Amino acid sequence: MRPSYSRDNRFRQQQSNEKHRINRDILALEVRVIAADGAQLGVLRTREAIQIAEDDGLDLVEVAPEAKPPVCKILNYGKFKYREQKKEAALRKNTGPTIKEIRLRYSTDKHDLETKVKNARRFIDEGDKVKFEMRFRGREVVYQEIGREIFKKVVDALKDVAILEESTPLLGQKMIMIFVPKAQAKVAKK
């Protein structure tokens, strides 16, 4: 036998995954109410506060549930939720420069190297750091000098747009170089 759910219960179940409790989902008997214009209305019974919000065509939203009594604000919940999503997206977007990784081999051909340098330029122009990594497998370690020569070519090709931030000698089986855009390097020095 299936449980019978009213339309209102299904709607409440959908809302239960929200961050904030709104209107009839507020569990406290009394709440401190802040009006839409920011004025303090004081401590009211939850039913009265919901009625005031509905009269204004707005929602009662619990913004500080841990307070005694919980703090609720009268506002348009759709707009409130939209603003919160925009803030979260802006925080995720402004994470700063990322590190783009480009892998090379000691046997990388001249034209392939030009393509990789071109991609590195594009990344640097976008404000990202670029990490070049060269791996040597097994007995290839004896070709370190060829790898260093390729790294020197990369440094010469990028010296007008980037500064070499870090260059490691052979660590285990790989060598690494990290480039930073010149604009970021100037800011870091200041």
Dump pLDDT digits (tens) for 63-90: 888 888 889 899 988 888 898 889 888 8
- Give the chain's domain count: 2
How far is the C-alpha of 63 from the C-alpha of 19, rounded, in Å? 9
Global confidence as pTM: 0.50
Give the CATH number, domain containing residue 147: 3.30.110.10
CB 130 within 8 A of CB 99: yes
Residue 16 and residue 81 in one domain: yes
Among 30, 57, 90, which residue terminates a domain?
Answer: 90
**Boundaries of domain holding 75:** 7-90
Residue 22 and residue 76 in one domain: yes
Residue 165 and residue 115 in one domain: yes
Assess if residue 58 is contained within a domain. Answer: yes
> Which of 11-20, 67-76, 81-90, 106-115 has the lowest average pLDDT?
11-20
Q: Over pLDDT 90: what percentage of the chain? A: 24
Question: In terms of DSSP bridges, do strands 162-171 and 71-75 run parallel, antiparallel, or are they unpaired?
Answer: unpaired
